[in-house]
């Protein structure tokens, strides 16, 4: 089934029907990111072609976005550790840190899926405050945005990885 996207593979076991799209997006992010960053060098992970965000930023940011939005979905505020992680998303990444950063994204997605399995669909329209400004949202708004924002960064990561590979001569100019 790996030739199809997650939304085409059927329901994810244990996830309420209304939350299937969120689960599909998160699983697609997990799968796609691994493919996109495969064999990137340390300099490619940290490259910012044209001043855009690096691959390192995108992967850390996806992890943080899922973590923060799922925290808000559960009606909680962010911890000091979450704020520290947010501040470090743009830091340079060493080769030794890559497995930990990739594992953190995978583990965060697995935790998010576990949270989705335990959610009561009757609470999806419940009000939630987001951020220090206490912006208005709902449980489902937080969950969907966490997944959708991560997929948006997966797309940006795709472009960044392709450009840095082309710049180092490892890319295929014939690819779409």
In the chain, where are the structural domains located?
Answer: 16-167
> Over the stretch 87-102, which tens digit does the pLDDT of each residue have?
999 899 999 999 999 9
Q: Which CATH architecture does the domain made up of 16-167 adopt?
A: Up-down Bundle (1.20)
Distances (CA, A) of 47 to 86, 92, 130, 164: 20, 9, 31, 7
| Higher local confidence (pLDDT), 7 or 66 | 66
pLDDT, tens only, 109-123: 999 999 999 999 999
Give the pLDDT mean for 83-89: 91
Query: For the whole model, what pTM was predicted?
Result: 0.91
User: 136-151 b/e with 16+ CB inside 10 Å = b?
Assistant: ebbbbbbbbbbbbbbb
């Amino acid at each position: 089934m790996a030739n199809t996207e997650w939304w085409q593979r059927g329901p994810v076991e244990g996830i309420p029907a209304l939350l299937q799209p969120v689960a599909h997006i998160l699983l697609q992010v997990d799968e796609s990111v691994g493919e996109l960053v495969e064999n990137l060098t340390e300099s490619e992970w940290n490259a910012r072609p044209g001043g855009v965000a690096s691959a390192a930023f995108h992967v850390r940011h996806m992890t943080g976005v899922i973590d923060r939005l799922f925290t808000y979905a559960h009606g909680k505020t962010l911890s000091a550790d979450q704020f520290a992680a947010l501040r470090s998303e743009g830091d340079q990444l060493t080769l030794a840190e890559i497995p930990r950063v990739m594992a953190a994204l995978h583990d965060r997605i697995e935790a998010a899926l576990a949270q989705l399995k335990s959610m009561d669909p009757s609470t999806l329209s419940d009000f939630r405050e987001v951020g220090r400004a206490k912006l208005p949202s709902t449980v489902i708004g937080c969950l969907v945005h966490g997944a959708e924002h991560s997929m948006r960064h997966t797309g940006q990561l795709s472009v960044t990885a392709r450009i840095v590979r082309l710049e180092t001569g490892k890319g295929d100019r014939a690819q779409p």
